[in-house]
């Protein structure tokens, strides 16, 4: 082989080695460049999120090279607490700026709007504030009566019950109704007479003690009961404790809320053997999306209302305390949830 041929082979090998090294170096540079770009984008997302008070997904590692969210691609923020001034953003395309869903303006002193029996809270205000229950007290009265008095037990209407302030149901002393009918009247029209009649039958003081014991058993440690009606300003609870009560009813006595969803019911007096129509005092009763609830009002408490609704096959809980317009405030919160959680 000639000297010229050796030189040709040598130069060819050099060119091949240079080409392989150059290609590998370019691929390495390209990969490093992509990683740096994604890290820069991740850092930009964090800066935007911080500026907008946006909660990024908890389990998303923004430094990963496989998945990175563009700054404009935001998720709907649940777990809303107005005290933390959150931004509620709807899903938008990258070329469109985020759309702010305004928080509803309500008159209630304390309020809650959330998916029932779940951690998803959309709106909360003063959840730890102890507030007079007013006639929402009767939910606990119904629980104790249901758990301790058989439904067909005949309950006499006492004079003590009839003379109770704010009577409803047109009860007369000496009439006798089943425990079931008494509970229906108490829940549907919020009859004070009916609540006192049940407590008198069981033993008034013992009944109130049972209400308090049941509250503690449920875990309502910020709640106190001093009567079965809700007259006492000392009948107090918090948003959190009332949610516990609602969940307890939903798991153990769902019929209580089913009763309150009715627009009215007939009850039977065993003395005169006549029936009486009891209409609901809740304007939501009879609505197809209303699952039940309870009203309450005293001068100290103002307007209270606890309501359960259904939307998109989910149940939603709305509570308002100290409201000037309890039904309007509740409707605003539920409508707002419906817009967000579509």
Share of the chain above pLDDT 90, in %: 65
Backbone region of residue 93 per phi and psi (left: phi > 0; alpha: psi in -120 to 50; beta: other values): beta
Q: Give dist(CA 61, CA 3) in Å, integer.
A: 61
Residue 7 banded pLDDT, cuts 50, 70, 90: low
Backbone region of residue 91 per phi and psi (left: phi > 0; alpha: psi in -120 to 50; beta: other values): beta
Look at residue 238 and tell me whether its pLDDT is greater than 80.
yes
Question: What's the pTM?
Answer: 0.71
Q: Give 22 or 309, the one with higher predicted confidence.
A: 309
What is the reported pLDDT for 226? 98
What is the reported pLDDT for 25? 53
Query: For 134-160, what is the mean pLDDT?
Result: 97
Contact by Cβ (8 Å): 222, 235? no
Q: Distances in Å between the alpha carbon of 137 and those of 48, 122, 131, 141? A: 47, 25, 12, 7
Look at residue 19 and tell me whether its pLDDT is greater than 80.
no
What is the reported pLDDT for 31? 56
Give the chain as a 3 state SS string.
CCHHHHHHHHHHHHHHHHHHHHHHHHHHHHHHHHHHHHHHHHHHHHHHHHHHCCCCCCCCCCCCCCCCCCCCCCCCCCCCCHHHCCCCECCCCCCCCCCECCCCCCCCCEEEEEECCCCCEEEEECCCCCEECHHHHHHHHHHHHHHHCCCCCEEECCHHHHCCCCCCCCCCCCCEEEHHHHHHHHHHCCCHHHHHHHHHHHCHHHHHHHHHHHHHHHCCCCCECCCCCCCCCCCEECHHHHHHHHHHHHHHCHHHHHHHCCCEEEEEECCCCEEEEEECCCCCCCCCCEEEEEEEEECCCEEEEEEEEEECCEEEEEEEEEECCHHHHHHHHHHHHHHHCC
Query: For 136-151, what is the mean pLDDT?
Result: 98
The encoded tokens of residue 98 equal: 């985020």
Query: For 235-247, what is the mean pLDDT?
Result: 98
What is the reported pLDDT for 241? 98
| 103 CB-contact burial (10 Å; exposed 0-12 / middle 13-18 / buried 19+) | middle
Looking at domain 131-340, its CATH architecture is 3-Layer(aba) Sandwich (3.40)
Query: For 204-224, what is the mean pLDDT?
Result: 98
Look at residue 195 and tell me whether its pLDDT is greater than 90.
yes
What is the reported pLDDT for 293? 98
The residues spanned by each domain of the chain are 1-52, 131-340
Q: Give 50 or 190, the one with higher predicted confidence.
A: 190
Q: Give dist(CA 332, CA 266) in Å, integer.
A: 32
Query: For 255-273, what is the mean pLDDT?
Result: 97
pLDDT tens, residue by residue, 67-121: 333 333 333 333 334 344 343 333 333 444 434 468 899 999 999 999 998 888 9
């Amino acid at each position: 082989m000639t000297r010229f041929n050796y030189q040709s082979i040598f130069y060819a090998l050099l060119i091949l080695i240079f080409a392989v090294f150059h290609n590998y170096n370019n691929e390495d540079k390209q990969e490093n460049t992509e990683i740096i770009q994604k890290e820069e984008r991740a850092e930009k997302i964090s800066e935007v999120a911080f500026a907008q008070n946006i909660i990024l997904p908890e389990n998303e590692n923004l430094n990963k090279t496989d998945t990175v969210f563009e700054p404009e691609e935001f998720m709907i923020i649940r777990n809303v607490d107005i005290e933390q001034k959150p931004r509620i953003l709807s899903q938008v395309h990258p070329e469109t700026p985020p759309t702010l869903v305004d928080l509803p303006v309500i008159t209630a002193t304390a309020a809650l709007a959330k998916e029932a029996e779940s951690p998803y809270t959309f709106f909360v205000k003063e959840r730890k504030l102890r507030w007079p229950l007013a006639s929402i007290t009767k939910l606990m009265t119904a629980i104790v009566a249901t758990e301790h008095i058989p439904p067909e037990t005949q309950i006499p209407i006492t004079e003590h019950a009839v003379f109770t302030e704010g009577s409803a149901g047109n009860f007369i002393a000496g009439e006798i109704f089943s425990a079931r009918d008494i509970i229906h009247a108490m829940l549907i029209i919020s009859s004070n007479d009916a609540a006192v009649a049940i407590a008198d039958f069981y033993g008034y003081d013992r009944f109130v003690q049972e209400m308090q014991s049941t509250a503690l058993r449920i875990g309502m440690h910020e709640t106190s009961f001093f009567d079965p009606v809700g007259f006492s300003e000392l009948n107090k609870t918090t948003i959190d404790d009332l949610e516990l009560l609602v969940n307890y009813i939903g798991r153990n006595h769902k019929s209580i809320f089913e009763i309150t969803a009715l627009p009215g019911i007939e009850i039977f007096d065993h003395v005169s053997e006549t029936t009486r129509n009891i209409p609901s005092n809740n304007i939501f009763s009879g609505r197809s999306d209303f699952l039940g609830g309870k009203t309450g009002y005293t001068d100290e408490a103002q307007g209270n209302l606890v309501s359960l609704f259904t939307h998109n096959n989910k149940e939603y809980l709305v509570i308002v305390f100290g409201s000037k317009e309890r039904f309007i405030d509740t409707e605003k919160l539920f409508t707002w949830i419906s817009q967000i959680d579509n």
